[in-house]
Structure 1
Amino acid sequence: MFNHDLLNPALHELLMRVRHTNTIIISDKGFPFWPAIETIDISLADDQPSVLHVLKVILPHFTVGKCWMAEQFNSWNEEDIKNSFNEVLKDISREFEDHDEFKKRVPRAIGLIRTGGTASYSNIILESA
């Protein structure tokens, strides 16, 4: 039996296809659907799983060189949520930009993972190193 903490086969397969400078998106429950991008929907209920849960599971298996988030994340969320993201993302270079600019990056991604996340503007684009 496969003995690994990343059990979802579709997520595992997506991560195995990521190459240098490819991007993937982890989105909250309300992020728009993009028909041209492979979407893996793992949402179950509110915050099950959250964007942060997915980040915690995939980061040990995915080398991130840089990531982007909407600048609205900082103004719409409480300090505890922002601190939780800071702890998980640690030394990863992070850029904040307006949500409309953030969405312009979406079509270049090779995949989108939709979660049940409810933290406002918690969508994140991860670029492989």
Structure 2
Amino acid sequence: MIKTGILNPAIASLLRRVRHTNTLVISDRGFPCWPMIETVDISLVDDVPTVLQVLSAIRANFQVGHAWMAQEFLENNDAPTTAAFADALSGVAVHHEPHVEFKRRVPYAIGLIRTGDTTQYANMILESS
């Protein structure tokens, strides 16, 4: 029995299939469905879990080289929220781009983890290094 780390078998399996330069999406609750990529939906209720909670859980065993987020995230959230995301992505090259451009990257991801996060534009694409 696993004692530590990712307990969810679908997420553990998904993470093990992300290789060098592959991408993984962590999305908020309102992100559109992408039927062409594997989605692990762990949303329970509003803000359970959050994108930052999932990011924190996977960073211990997932090396992130680059991350993409929507430019609209910076425009629609307050300073404490944007600072929390910046802290959680410390050491990672983060690129902000228009949400339309961000969504064009999604179909190339190995998979998507959907959370219950209500933070506006909290979605991120993580590239494994």
Other structure's SS at 2:88 match: helix
Q: Which residue of 2 aligns with 1:121?
A: 121
Identity in percent: 54
Q: TM-score, normalised by structure 2?
A: 0.98
Q: Which residue of 2 aligns with 1:57?
A: 57
Q: Which residue of 2 aligns with 1:108?
A: 108
Q: Output the amino acid matched with 1:99.
A: H
Aligned length: 129
Deviations 1:84-122 (A, max 9, x none): 111111110000000000000011001000000010000
Q: Which residue of 1 aligns with 2:85?
A: 85
Note the residue ranges of structure 1 that are not aligned, 5 or more in a row. none
Superposition RMSD in Å: 0.6
Deviations 1:38-73 (A, max 9, x none): 000000000100101100100111001101000000
Q: Which residue of 2 aligns with 1:11?
A: 11
Note the residue ranges of structure 2 that are not aligned, 5 or more in a row. none
Partners in 1 of 2:86 and 2:34 — Cα distance?
A: 28
Partners in 2 of 1:83 and 1:8 — Cα distance?
A: 28
Other structure's SS at 1:12 match: helix
Structure 1: 4+ residue segments shifted above 2 A? none
Q: TM-score, normalised by structure 1?
A: 0.98
Q: Which residue of 2 aligns with 1:22?
A: 22
